[in-house]
Amino acid sequence: MGAIKYMKIDLRFLKVQKVVLILFPILAVFMEAFGKMDFAFVFGYLCFGAIIIAPTAFMYEQKGSDLFIAMLPGKLKDRVWGRFLNLIILMLGAFLCAMISHFIAEGFSFSISGMEAVFMLAAFCISIMIGSIQMLVFYKVGREKSQQWLAMFRLIPGFVVFFGITYASDALIKEPDLLKNLVGILQRQAVMLGGLLVVICIAVLLVCEMLSVKICSKKDGY
Amino acid sequence: MGDYALEVTNLTKKFSDFTLDDISFKLPKGYIMGFVGRNGAGKTTTINLITSLYHKDAGEVRIDGNRAEDDKVLYKESIGYIGDESYFHEAFKIKDIVSIQKDFYPTFREAQYMQYIEQWELPTDKKIGEFSKGMKVKLMFAGVLARDTRILLLDEATSGLDPITRDEVLVMLQKYIEDGERSVLFSTHILEDLEKIADYVFFIEKGGEVFCDYKDQIMEAYRMVKGGTDELTSELEKEIIGLQKSSVGFQGIVSREVGDTIGDKFLVEQPAINDIIVAFQKNMGGNHTWVQ
Amino acid sequence: MKIVISNHSELPIYAQVKEQIKEQIMTGVILEGTKLPSIRQLAKDLKISVITITRAYSELESEGYIATMQGKGSVVLGRDNDLLREQYLRRIEEALETAIETARFLKLSNEELIDMLGNLIDDE
């Protein structure tokens, strides 16, 4: 499929960040297994990593040396989808790493509470939504802003995700009543809420993608 | 199908500070067209519009009769573009390029590509960012020649090359058109290259066409005249394009008719295409228009 | 076949190619029936444009030196074809006219000139 071909190209750029790509998960495992950081922190940290790495491809476009890519015989739609798929793959990668580190931390056993599962799903979906919006912003202004601006800007969603996840987790722990209420609601409406969240997430993703395609089709250079 | 590799009709693009205005020309199959003009005259814009990288405000472009709007993928496949600078990401290596080309170009021939790599001694273990300029240009050529295209678009592709490599490029271009089915549009500052192998020349200035004709006709329509400074009459001066005066004489370009009549009084000889183009550029805004 | 192009000649390139091929045909260096290289092949070898060679070949054809068949290339025609014969006849005329002019310049009489011609023919 066309989009996958483009996704492969964007993933190639991550080769340059090989070091980061390997360090992040290893640190995650260490933090949870040996640093005794809680799971939420680690998951948040990994999502942060995924969100920050996702727009790497945009950084290369800045230099204008993406002409080869722009000239490839493929549809613009596929090209944009490829980049969004890139984001999804990275998020799945973060998820996988979190699972592995949790697995190791829990003494090579797999135990995850219902709360943790729901929490993770929520964090995952919200990260994807923020990542998608980040993509949209990059498509809109990516080429006009300087490298420095982009480098700084991409940190914002990452930190939002990270602090969001850890804060939410802390808040829930600190407020047992809130937690109890939340658990109550969740247990009653778990499937529906979960489903709703996933639907919203997918909707945001699709909208961002469509808007990105629209933006690119108006601009020169794509 | 048709007989034209490239047909550009009323191509127009407006920027805030520059307009490419109503450019039209046709390049038949099997020929080379040189595309000349100053920096900023509109060469790169025209080429970017032909590749469909830029969106046009008006006009139409057909390659082998096909428009980008009809089938963008096929259209892009039929173009081999080579630019002034490397368009590959600096962090890529040759194997990355091979992989991407295999994915996207159905006619890509890996064996032929690697043959070029070997022939030109391009390093397979280094990142493209570490290649020399000549190597980068050859890499672009390898990618383009190892697959099927209908037209080559070169945007100042030879500007940074040493003379030997440039010569190799000219040989490659003539080989490319040898079957009479494919054509080359070749934008360049190095007019000696055009002088030799171009069949047509399109001269652009300030976004508009100055002339477009057979290179041979252009060469034959003009003569270079040289003489002493005090021998220059005001009637002759009116006929001269791109007049240059110095303490020891003058020179300029005149039409062939004028040149033939003054051959006994002045030195009149065949100008190089460079002389003609430069003379016209000097004359912009003057009272001479292209002689048919 | 040998073709050497001068960049500094007053003769346009197509004319240089044409004249050199013509000369070699006329002097027999290129024999009748020889197949000339294709236009594109020659353009590539000489590193000049296709249209320039095309023009040289067209003029050679219209002057009767070669015949081009679609898809088969160009062949040198026999020396006894009509067009070529005309070319040769014209050459003879031109040479004779030069002789006559020079004779006039020297104030040679017509008889003296015809005598000279006779002697030269006898010497052959």
SS3 call for C46: helix
Q: What DSSP element (H or E) covers C22?
A: helix C13-26
Tell me, yes or no, whether B158 and B252 share the same domain: no
Nearest CA to B86 out of B184, B19, B18, B155 is that of B155
In a domain, C5, yes or no: no
Split at pLDDT 50, 70, 90, the class of B139 is very high
Q: Sort out which chain B residues have CB atoms less than 8 A from A70's CB and list them.
A: 53
Tell me which residue in A13, A63, A73 faces B104 most closely, judged by beta carbons: A73
Helices (H), B56-162: 72-77, 94-104, 110-119, 133-145
Tell me, yes or no, whether B209 and B93 share the same domain: yes
In a domain, C20, yes or no: yes
Nearest C-alpha of chain B: how many angstroms from C98?
Answer: 23
| Confidence at residue A35, expressed as pLDDT on a 0 to 100 scale | 67
Tell me, yes or no, whether C48 and C64 share the same domain: yes
Tell me, yes or no, whether B76 and B145 share the same domain: yes
Tell me which residue in A65, A74, A218 faces B104 most closely, judged by beta carbons: A74
SS3 call for B148: coil
CA–CA separation, A22 and A198 (whole Å): 29
CA–CA separation, A201 and B255 (whole Å): 72
Tell me, yes or no, whether B65 and B37 share the same domain: yes
DSSP string, A100-111: HHHHHHTTS---
Nearest CA in chain B to C41: B178
Last residue in a domain, options B196, B217, B238:
B217
CA–CA separation, B26 and C107 (whole Å): 61
Residue spans of chain C under pLDDT 50: none
CA–CA separation, B268 and C85 (whole Å): 36
Last residue in a domain, options C38, C58, C76:
C76
In a domain, C45, yes or no: yes
Tell me, yes or no, whether B36 and B84 share the same domain: yes
**Binary contact (B55, A220; C-beta < 8 A):** yes
Neighbours of C102 (CB within 10 A): 11
Tell me, yes or no, whether C110 and C71 share the same domain: no
In a domain, C47, yes or no: yes
Nearest C-alpha of chain B: how many angstroms from C49?
Answer: 4
Tell me, yes or no, whether B152 and B266 share the same domain: no
In a domain, B196, yes or no: yes
Query: A124: number of CA atoms within 13 Å, CB side?
Result: 23
**Binary contact (B91, A13; C-beta < 8 A):** yes
Tell me, yes or no, whether C92 and C72 share the same domain: no
Would you say A150 and A55 are in contact if contact means Cβ atoms under 8 Å apart? yes
User: What range does the domain containing B239 cover?
Assistant: 221-282
Specify the number of domains making up chain C.
2
Tell me, yes or no, whether C58 and C110 share the same domain: no
**Binary contact (A220, B76; C-beta < 8 A):** no
Q: What is the maximal distance between C-alpha atoms in chain A? A: 58
In a domain, B292, yes or no: no
> What CATH number did the domain enclosing C57 receive?
1.10.10.10
CA–CA separation, B286 and B145 (whole Å): 43
Tell me, yes or no, whether C72 and C86 share the same domain: no
**Binary contact (B85, A220; C-beta < 8 A):** no
**Binary contact (B81, A71; C-beta < 8 A):** yes
| Confidence at residue B213, expressed as pLDDT on a 0 to 100 scale | 94
**Binary contact (A65, B81; C-beta < 8 A):** no
Neighbours of chain C (3+ CB pairs under 8 A): B
> What CATH number did the domain enclosing B247 receive?
3.30.70
Beta strands in chain B (DSSP E): 4-14, 19-28, 32-36, 58-63, 79-82, 151-155, 183-187, 200-205, 208-214, 222-227, 241-246, 249-255, 267-269
Specify the number of domains making up chain B.
2
User: What range does the domain containing C97 cover?
Assistant: 82-123
Tell me, yes or no, whether B189 and B272 share the same domain: no
In a domain, B287, yes or no: no
Q: How many residues does chain A have?
A: 222
Tell me, yes or no, whether C71 and C90 share the same domain: no
In a domain, B290, yes or no: no
| Confidence at residue A115, expressed as pLDDT on a 0 to 100 scale | 67
CA–CA separation, C69 and C72 (whole Å): 5
Contacts of B45 (CB under 8 A, 6+ apart): B13, B15, B18, B20, B54, B207
Last residue in a domain, options C57, C76, C95:
C76
Whether chain B has a CB inside 8 Å of the CB on C10: the answer is yes
Beta strands in A107-205 (DSSP E): none
Tell me, yes or no, whether C43 and C59 share the same domain: yes
In a domain, B109, yes or no: yes
Tell me, yes or no, whether B226 and B135 share the same domain: no
Nearest CA to C77 out of C17, C31, C18 is that of C31
Q: What DSSP element (H or E) covers C73?
A: strand C73-76
In a domain, C112, yes or no: yes
- How confident is the model over B220-225, as a mean pLDDT? 93
> What CATH number did the domain enclosing B20 receive?
3.40.50.300
CA–CA separation, A193 and A184 (whole Å): 12
In a domain, B12, yes or no: yes
Tell me, yes or no, whether B65 and B115 share the same domain: yes
Tell me, yes or no, whether B278 and B185 share the same domain: no
Tell me, yes or no, whether B14 and B123 share the same domain: yes
Interface subset of B 132-171, CB within 8 angstroms of A: 143
In a domain, C119, yes or no: yes
| Confidence at residue B147, expressed as pLDDT on a 0 to 100 scale | 97
CA–CA–CA angle C76, C81, C83 (5° rounding): 95
Last residue in a domain, options B217, B247, B266:
B217
Q: What DSSP element (H or E) covers C66?
A: strand C66-69
Tell me, yes or no, whether B172 and B107 share the same domain: yes
Residue spans of chain A under pLDDT 50: none
In a domain, B291, yes or no: no
- What confidence tens digit (pLDDT) does each residue in B234-289 have? 888 888 999 999 999 999 999 999 999 988 889 999 898 889 998 988 887 555 55
In terms of Cβ atoms closer than 10 Å to its own Cβ (0-12, 13-18, 19+), residue C19 is middle
| Confidence at residue A79, expressed as pLDDT on a 0 to 100 scale | 92
SS3 call for B250: strand
In a domain, B176, yes or no: yes
Neighbours of B241 (CB within 10 A): 21
In a domain, C32, yes or no: yes
Give yes or no for residue B292 having a pLDDT over 50: no
Neighbours of B83 (CB within 10 A): 22
Nearest CA in chain C to B216: C52
Residues of chain B above pLDDT 90, percent: 73
- What confidence tens digit (pLDDT) does each residue in A79-115 have? 999 999 999 999 998 888 888 877 777 777 666 666 6
| Confidence at residue B291, expressed as pLDDT on a 0 to 100 scale | 52
SS3 call for B79: strand
Whether chain B has a CB inside 8 Å of the CB on C89: the answer is no
In a domain, C42, yes or no: yes
Last residue in a domain, options B217, B233, B268:
B217
Long-range contacts of A91-96 (CB under 8 A, 24+ apart): A91/A47, A91/A50, A91/A124, A91/A127, A91/A128, A91/A131, A93/A50, A94/A43, A94/A46, A94/A47, A94/A49, A94/A50, A94/A127, A95/A46, A95/A120, A95/A124
